[in-house]
Amino acid sequence: MSILVNSETRLLVQGITGSEGTYHSKRMLEYGTKIVAGVTPNKGGTNYLGIPVYNTVSEAVTETSANVSIIYVPAPFAADAILESAYAGIPLVVCITEGIPALEMMRVHASMPEGVRLIGPNCPGVITPSTKTKVGIMPGHIHLPGRVGVISRSGTLTYEIVKALTDAKLGQSTAIGIGGDPLPGTNFIDCLELFRNDDETDAVAIIGEIGGSDEEKAAEYVAKGYSKPVIGFIAGQSAPPGKRMGHAGAIISGGKGTAEEKKNAFRAAGIKVADLPSEVVPLLKESLR
């Protein structure tokens, strides 16, 4: 079993003919992802990378039964692209685009139909190695099928820790990059619940970062009773207060959202905390004994 994406995924790529859409569509196809449609306005009726292109998501869904959408649309148009997929009946929308204004994301959250899950924006996507299904920008070759779930706000740290897991023969059930946006569509708790109900995930690694309170909320959720071991790492431990580090959501404000606060919350919830990315593997191995 996997979560979110698997062999049943029928992917639609919004912005498939752009440079980013083209590059990553090729990589997803090479990995094994089933891409059934692309959407680029005014290019409907064409064929690109061997994939039919449509003018609208609604038309593409009707013709191909696409059930997952990924968005490589520039920031000024990305919020509308998310809603277009959501209202076309696609239950899972993954938005890679970064730089979407917070006001636009507030509009998206207020308008999202019930039953639609958004991953991102400003995220690397989702990958399930056992079914060779990659919806995003992650390097597929570093992943290995296995039983460790990975949830991360940081793309590059996801890759570093996944590579270390793979080198240690600790494969991944599914890896989810929820992104570093201040208003993500899916948070740590959402993912923890999905992994909790996945009988092929034995442990979960949470890769958090400074800013916001999502890690503290996840710790509260785990503290209420979580049946699987959870390992945590917090990025940005040397970040100065008031300065944004990398992601729009990674800012310490008013003494809140610091790495130390988040690590303390994890520890209080019984989550083993790695001080360095290299410590995640030993802590997982210890927890799985």
Instruction: Examine the residue annotation and report whether 247 is marked as an active-site residue of this protein.
Output: yes
The amino acid sitting at 180 is: G
Strands 133-136 and 125-128: antiparallel
Token duo for residue 27: 């990589």
At 117, phi and psi to the nearest 5?
A: -105, 130
Strands 125-128 and 172-177: antiparallel
Token duo for residue 201: 């995930």
Angle among Cα 196, 197, 200 to the nearest 5 degrees reads: 90
Sheet holding 230-235, edge to edge: 133-136, 125-128, 172-177, 145-152, 203-209, 230-235, 272-274
Q: Give me the catalytic one of 24, 109, 141, 247.
A: 247
Number of residues in the chain: 289
Active-site positions read: 247
